[in-house]
Amino acid sequence: MRQLTAGDSMDDRNAERMALNEAVFRAANEQLHGDLEAFTGSQSSYSMMCECALIECEQMVEMDEAAYTRVRSKRVWFLVWPEHVVPEIEDIVERSEGFWIVEKVGAAASVARSTAPEERGERA
Protein backbone atom coordinates (compact mmCIF):
# COMPACT_ATOMS: atom_id res chain seq x y z
CA MET A 1 0.00 0.00 0.00
CA ARG A 2 1.40 3.41 -0.98
CA GLN A 3 1.97 6.07 1.63
CA LEU A 4 1.15 9.70 0.95
CA THR A 5 4.34 11.68 0.31
CA ALA A 6 5.12 15.04 -1.29
CA GLY A 7 6.13 13.24 -4.46
CA ASP A 8 2.81 11.59 -5.15
CA SER A 9 0.39 13.98 -3.50
CA MET A 10 -0.73 15.16 -6.94
CA ASP A 11 -1.89 11.62 -7.72
CA ASP A 12 -3.89 11.54 -4.54
CA ARG A 13 -5.43 14.93 -5.24
CA ASN A 14 -6.37 13.65 -8.67
CA ALA A 15 -7.90 10.54 -7.13
CA GLU A 16 -9.83 12.66 -4.67
CA ARG A 17 -11.13 14.93 -7.41
CA MET A 18 -12.36 11.92 -9.42
CA ALA A 19 -13.86 10.34 -6.32
CA LEU A 20 -15.71 13.55 -5.51
CA ASN A 21 -17.22 13.57 -8.99
CA GLU A 22 -18.47 10.04 -8.41
CA ALA A 23 -19.83 11.00 -4.99
CA VAL A 24 -21.90 13.76 -6.63
CA PHE A 25 -23.53 11.23 -8.94
CA ARG A 26 -24.09 8.78 -6.10
CA ALA A 27 -25.90 11.51 -4.14
CA ALA A 28 -27.97 12.37 -7.23
CA ASN A 29 -28.88 8.71 -7.71
CA GLU A 30 -29.89 8.37 -4.08
CA GLN A 31 -32.19 11.35 -4.53
CA LEU A 32 -33.57 9.94 -7.78
CA HIS A 33 -34.09 6.48 -6.30
CA GLY A 34 -35.85 7.93 -3.26
CA ASP A 35 -38.12 10.07 -5.43
CA LEU A 36 -39.06 7.15 -7.67
CA GLU A 37 -40.01 5.04 -4.68
CA ALA A 38 -41.96 7.89 -3.08
CA PHE A 39 -43.94 8.80 -6.18
CA THR A 40 -44.37 5.56 -8.08
CA GLY A 41 -43.57 2.86 -5.54
CA SER A 42 -41.01 0.11 -5.89
CA GLN A 43 -40.16 -0.64 -9.49
CA SER A 44 -38.85 -3.74 -11.20
CA SER A 45 -36.08 -1.77 -12.86
CA TYR A 46 -34.40 1.57 -12.35
CA SER A 47 -32.66 3.88 -14.76
CA MET A 48 -29.80 5.48 -12.82
CA MET A 49 -26.87 7.70 -13.76
CA CYS A 50 -23.46 6.19 -14.34
CA GLU A 51 -21.35 6.99 -11.27
CA CYS A 52 -17.99 6.87 -13.04
CA ALA A 53 -15.15 9.41 -12.74
CA LEU A 54 -15.57 10.82 -16.25
CA ILE A 55 -16.84 14.39 -15.88
CA GLU A 56 -18.54 14.37 -19.27
CA CYS A 57 -20.30 11.01 -18.83
CA GLU A 58 -24.09 11.13 -19.24
CA GLN A 59 -24.66 7.38 -19.56
CA MET A 60 -27.77 5.93 -17.93
CA VAL A 61 -27.52 2.51 -16.32
CA GLU A 62 -30.47 0.08 -15.98
CA MET A 63 -30.71 -2.29 -13.05
CA ASP A 64 -33.22 -3.89 -10.70
CA GLU A 65 -33.92 -2.93 -7.11
CA ALA A 66 -31.83 -5.78 -5.69
CA ALA A 67 -28.76 -4.67 -7.64
CA TYR A 68 -29.18 -1.04 -6.59
CA THR A 69 -29.58 -2.03 -2.95
CA ARG A 70 -26.49 -4.24 -3.24
CA VAL A 71 -24.26 -1.51 -4.62
CA ARG A 72 -25.43 0.91 -1.90
CA SER A 73 -24.62 -1.63 0.83
CA LYS A 74 -20.96 -0.57 0.82
CA ARG A 75 -19.79 3.01 0.97
CA VAL A 76 -16.87 2.33 -1.35
CA TRP A 77 -18.98 0.67 -4.07
CA PHE A 78 -20.19 2.58 -7.11
CA LEU A 79 -22.36 1.79 -10.07
CA VAL A 80 -20.86 2.33 -13.53
CA TRP A 81 -21.50 1.57 -17.18
CA PRO A 82 -19.32 -1.36 -18.34
CA GLU A 83 -15.73 -0.21 -19.06
CA HIS A 84 -16.21 3.16 -17.27
CA VAL A 85 -13.49 2.19 -14.83
CA VAL A 86 -10.39 4.14 -13.73
CA PRO A 87 -8.02 1.38 -12.57
CA GLU A 88 -5.89 3.84 -10.55
CA ILE A 89 -8.74 4.56 -8.10
CA GLU A 90 -11.01 1.51 -8.23
CA ASP A 91 -11.23 -2.27 -8.62
CA ILE A 92 -14.00 -4.11 -10.46
CA VAL A 93 -16.23 -6.03 -8.04
CA GLU A 94 -18.95 -7.27 -10.35
CA ARG A 95 -19.53 -7.41 -14.10
CA SER A 96 -23.24 -7.63 -14.84
CA GLU A 97 -25.13 -7.17 -18.08
CA GLY A 98 -25.60 -3.41 -18.50
CA PHE A 99 -23.67 -2.28 -15.42
CA TRP A 100 -20.56 -2.95 -13.39
CA ILE A 101 -19.88 -2.40 -9.70
CA VAL A 102 -16.51 -0.92 -8.72
CA GLU A 103 -14.82 -0.56 -5.33
CA LYS A 104 -12.78 2.57 -4.54
CA VAL A 105 -9.22 2.10 -3.30
CA GLY A 106 -6.68 4.38 -1.59
CA ALA A 107 -7.43 8.12 -1.42
CA ALA A 108 -10.58 7.63 -3.48
CA ALA A 109 -11.92 5.18 -0.90
CA SER A 110 -11.45 7.79 1.84
CA VAL A 111 -13.50 10.27 -0.15
CA ALA A 112 -16.15 7.65 -0.86
CA ARG A 113 -16.49 6.88 2.85
CA SER A 114 -16.59 10.52 3.98
CA THR A 115 -19.24 11.44 1.40
CA ALA A 116 -21.45 8.35 1.82
CA PRO A 117 -25.15 8.84 2.61
CA GLU A 118 -25.49 8.71 6.38
CA GLU A 119 -28.60 6.61 6.58
CA ARG A 120 -26.97 3.59 4.99
CA GLY A 121 -24.35 1.80 7.07
CA GLU A 122 -21.64 -0.51 5.88
CA ARG A 123 -22.79 -4.12 6.22
CA ALA A 124 -19.49 -5.83 5.67
With respect to Zn ion, which residue has the nearer C-beta, 59 or 115?
59
The DSSP bridge pattern shows strands 99-104 and 90-96 to be antiparallel
Between CA 21 and CA 52 the distance in angstroms is 8
With respect to Zn ion, which residue has the nearer C-beta, 52 or 86?
52
Query: What's the per-residue H, E or C state across 36-88?
Result: HHHHHCCCCCEEEECCCCCCCCCCEEEECHHHHHHHCCCCCEEEECCCCCCCC
With respect to Zn ion, which residue has the nearer C-beta, 24 or 57?
57
Instruction: Work out how close the CB of 61 gets to Zn ion at its nearest, in angstroms, rounded to a whole number.
Output: 8
Sites of contact with Zn ion (CB under 5 A): 50, 52, 57, 59, 81, 84
**CB atoms near residue 87 (< 10 Å):** 9
Instruction: Work out how close the CB of 42 gets to Zn ion at its nearest, in angstroms, rounded to a whole number.
Output: 26
Instruction: Work out how close the CB of 80 gets to Zn ion at its nearest, in angstroms, rounded to a whole number.
Output: 6
Instruction: Work out how close the CB of 53 gets to Zn ion at its nearest, in angstroms, rounded to a whole number.
Output: 8
With respect to Zn ion, which residue has the nearer C-beta, 52 or 89?
52
Residue from 53, 31, 26 nearest 107 by CA: 53
